[in-house]
């Protein structure tokens, strides 16, 4: 392992991933191999490279949604001395890491039937023991900052527009104080004004020492927020497979 700084929150080492489609006669699809990079506190590292190269798959492995085939994915909270490897972690360990270390804003909101937008956003605070009377106003303040009309707060997001759902998703991911935040195209379905709000929220997190890793297709956003770009093409397994 390279010389590790106390600021390092994520180390990805020699990670590879391929998919096997069992419904299509076991077709084997290599995606990435030898992925290696790190993210420190106060950095915004952006994954670059063409569509389909494996950017989202890398984020999903870090969040424990996809299993890594080989290599190590080491996470560490701000006050931890030891890293935890997500790759072989048990589901219980992964749940603890998601609560304490790594937050994730996915491309799409997973709407929960009958739960209001405000409660969807407040829920991660409740699971951290913050009382409802404090969690709901904090959720409302962030939704207001993201320009979600107050009339929508008490409605379930299932029928919201794409951009409205995405803002609920962003508020949910940004309300907590995870030391590492993983963002999968959070600005994709937003208008200019809301894109600016999200860039400001990212910058505030970075200044508070959060380590941020994300995918941003919008070049303007990328230039504004990235402190470093990691080109995933360098780890593409496709050229090896050809
Ligand atoms: N669950 C899955 N099952 C099978 N193949 C998958 C799965 N997830 C991703 N893939 C494949 O892995 C490759 C990489 O996908 P991924 O979504 O990681 O790319 P990406 O770089 O994020 O693309 P984009 O920029 O278009 O979002 C693609 O060829 C995709 O079809």
Tens of pLDDT, residue by residue over 220-231, are: 999 999 999 999
CA distance readout (Å), 8 to 11, 42, 173:
7, 10, 21
The highest-level CATH class for domain 1-101+213-242 is alpha beta
pLDDT of residue 20: 85
Between these two residues, 1 and 236, which has the higher pLDDT value?
236
Please, what is the average pLDDT of the chain?
92
pLDDT value at 170 more than 60:
yes
Q: State whether the beta carbon of 47 lies less than 6 angstroms from ligand 1.
A: no
Nearest Cα residue to atom 14 of ligand 1: 54
Question: pTM for this one?
Answer: 0.93
Ligand 1 atom closest to the Cα of residue 47 is: 21
Q: How far is CA 80 from the centre of its chain?
A: 20
Residue 242's pLDDT is what?
A: 42
Whether residue 91 has pLDDT greater than 60? yes
Using CA positions, which residue lies closest to atom 26 of ligand 1?
A: 51
pLDDT at 241 over 70: no
50 close to ligand 1 (CB < 6 Angstrom): no
Give distance in angstroms: CA of 57 to centre of ligand 1: 6
Give the residue from 141, 32, 14, 104 showing the smallest Cα distance to 153. 141
Whether the CB of 90 sits within 6 Å of ligand 1: no
- What is the pLDDT at residue 122? 96
Mutate to test the pocket of ligand 1, among 30, 49, 55 (most ligand atoms within 8 A of CB): 55
Whether residue 63 is predicted with pLDDT greater than 90 in this model: the reply is: yes
The interface predicted TM-score of the complex, written ipTM, equals 0.95
Domain ranges, ordered by start, for the chain: 1-101+213-242
Q: How far apart are CA 216 and CA 201, in angstroms?
A: 15
* Minimum CA distance residue for ligand 1 atom 2: 19
The predicted model gives 81-100 an average pLDDT of: 92
Residue 108 has pLDDT above 90, yes or no: no
How many Cβ atoms sit within 10 Å of the Cβ of residue 60? Answer: 19
Residues near 112 by beta carbon (within 8 Å), at least 6 away in sequence: 120, 156
| Contact 236 CB / ligand 1 (< 6 Å) | no
Whether the pLDDT of residue 3 is over 70: the answer is no
> Is 157 within 8 Å of 168 (Cβ atoms)?
yes
pLDDT at 110: 77
* Band of residue 239 on the pLDDT scale cut at 50, 70, 90: low
Give CA separation, 195 vs 148, 163, 166, in Å.
Answer: 13, 10, 11
Q: Is the distance from the beta carbon of residue 55 to the nearest atom of ligand 1 less than 6 Å?
A: yes
For 172-195, how does the pLDDT look when each residue is reduced to its tens digit (9 = 90+)? 999 999 999 999 999 988 999 999
CA-nearest residue for atom 7, ligand 1, is 19
| Predicted pLDDT of residue 1 | 56
Best mutation site among 53, 68, 107 for ligand 1 pocket (most ligand atoms within 8 Å of CB): 53
| Averaged pLDDT, 74-96 | 91
Query: What is the 3 state secondary structure string of 119-158?
Result: HHHHHHHHCCCCCHHHHHHHHHHHHHHCCCCHHHCCCCHH
Calculate what percentage of the chain has a pLDDT beyond 70. Answer: 97
| pLDDT mean over 142-163 | 95
């Amino acid at each position: 392992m390279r010389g590790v700084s106390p600021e390092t929150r994520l180390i990805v080492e020699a990670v590879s991933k391929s998919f096997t489609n069992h419904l299509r006669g076991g077709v084997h699809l290599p995606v990435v191999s030898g992925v290696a990079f790190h993210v420190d506190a106060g950095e915004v590292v952006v994954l670059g490279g063409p569509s389909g190269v494996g950017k989202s798959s890398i984020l999903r492995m870090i969040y424990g949604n996809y299993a890594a085939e080989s290599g190590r994915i080491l996470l560490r909270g701000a006050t931890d001395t030891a890293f935890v490897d997500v790759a072989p972690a048990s589901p219980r360990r992964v749940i603890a890491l998601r609560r304490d270390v790594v937050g994730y804003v996915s491309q799409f909101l997973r709407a929960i039937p009958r739960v209001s937008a405000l409660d969807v956003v407040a829920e991660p605070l409740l699971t951290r023991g913050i009382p409802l009377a404090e969690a709901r106003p904090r959720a409302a303040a962030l939704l207001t900052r993201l320009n979600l009309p107050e009339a929508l707060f008490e409605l379930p997001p299932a029928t919201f527009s794409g951009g409205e759902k995405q803002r609920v998703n962003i508020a949910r991911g940004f309300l907590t104080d995870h030391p590492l935040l993983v963002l999968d195209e959070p600005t994709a379905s937003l208008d200019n004004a809301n894109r600016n709000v999200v860039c400001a929220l990212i910058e505030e997190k970075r200044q508070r020492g959060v380590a941020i890793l994300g995918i941003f297709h919008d070049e303007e956003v990328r230039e504004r927020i990235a402190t470093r770009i990691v080109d995933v093409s360098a780890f593409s397994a496709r050229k090896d497979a050809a």
